[in-house]
Amino acid sequence: MGTISIASDGRVVTIGSYAFAYCSKLKSFTITSPALATIGTYAFKKDKKLKTVKFKNTTKLTKSGVKKSLKGSYVKYVKVKKSKIKSYRKIFKKSNSGRYVTVKK
């Protein structure tokens, strides 16, 4: 299993590689930390019930920060605020995140 880094103020900064891999009962995942900058490779690998990942208030996430993060997962949708849809479509391209996903509100 991977690791999750938490800043001194309690905000999640990093979700490590394989952090939630093989969590067969994981049905939903919502991150609200504005400090999140990195999601490691294969972070949600083989989580068959997880179809949607929601990001609320995440501002530091970049293209390099999600490299292959969804590879091997069953995630179909990434939900974000309406104002972030365009930038998150660039971040979560299949060539970058490792899986084709639909970014929506």
pLDDT confidence of 10, banded at 50, 70, 90?
Answer: confident
pLDDT tens digits along 41-91: 999 999 999 999 999 988 899 999 999 999 999 999 999 999 999 999 999
- 10-19 burial, b at 16+ Cβ within 10 Å, e below that, comes to eebebbbbbb
pTM of the predicted structure, to 2 decimals: 0.91
CA nearest neighbour of 10 among 37, 35, 39, 43? 35
Average the pLDDT over 25-48 and give the result: 94
